[in-house]
Amino acid sequence: MPLVRIDLPAGKSPDYGVTIGDVVYDALVETLSVPEDDRFQVITEHHGPGLVVDPTYLGIARTAEAVIIQVTLNEGRTVMLKQAFYKAVADGLHLRVGLAKSDVFINLVEVKKENWSFGNGEAQYA
């Protein structure tokens, strides 16, 4: 049920975005109990001013390599689970693609279950 949007700077290898998607998916399954095979992702590369990430907001030093990850998912997870997800993604991206943890920006958007249609014009979770 999560919809993941990953925005990253252009110029990386094709595997780079795929690996980021893999890390996010694995973290969703492991920390937020998302079902296996529930993978819907949009991965977009941005050139120049198409991706704006403040380099120092909240005292966190970010580089031009920063990525933005937005996950829309059903509401109801605890703060502790969300924190575990953030850490799993940042740690995983650092390990798998060498991205600095400070360059991982994550936003969760929680919605009610009836706000999804997975096809056929039906609200499967309503």
Structure tokens at 78: 């605890």
pTM of the predicted protein model? 0.95
Q: Which residues pair with 122 in a beta bridge?
A: 119
Residue 34 in contact with residue 67, Cβ under 8 Å? no
Integer Rg of the chain from CA: 15
Please confirm, yes or no, whether 35 is among the known catalytic residues: no
What distance in Å separates the CA atoms of residue 90 and residue 106, rounded to the nearest whole number? 9
* Domains, in order of start, for the chain: 3-115 (3.30.429.10)
| Active-site pick, 2, 35, 49, 55 | 2
Q: Which residues pair with 67 in a beta bridge?
A: 104
Diameter of the chain by CA atoms? 46
Per-residue pLDDT of the chain (126 residues; tens, 9 = 90+): 899 999 999 999 989 999 999 999 999 999 999 999 999 999 999 998 999 999 999 999 999 999 999 999 999 999 999 999 999 999 999 999 999 999 999 999 999 999 999 999 999 988
How many CB atoms sit inside 10 A of residue 85's CB? 22
Residue 45 in contact with residue 16, Cβ under 8 Å? no
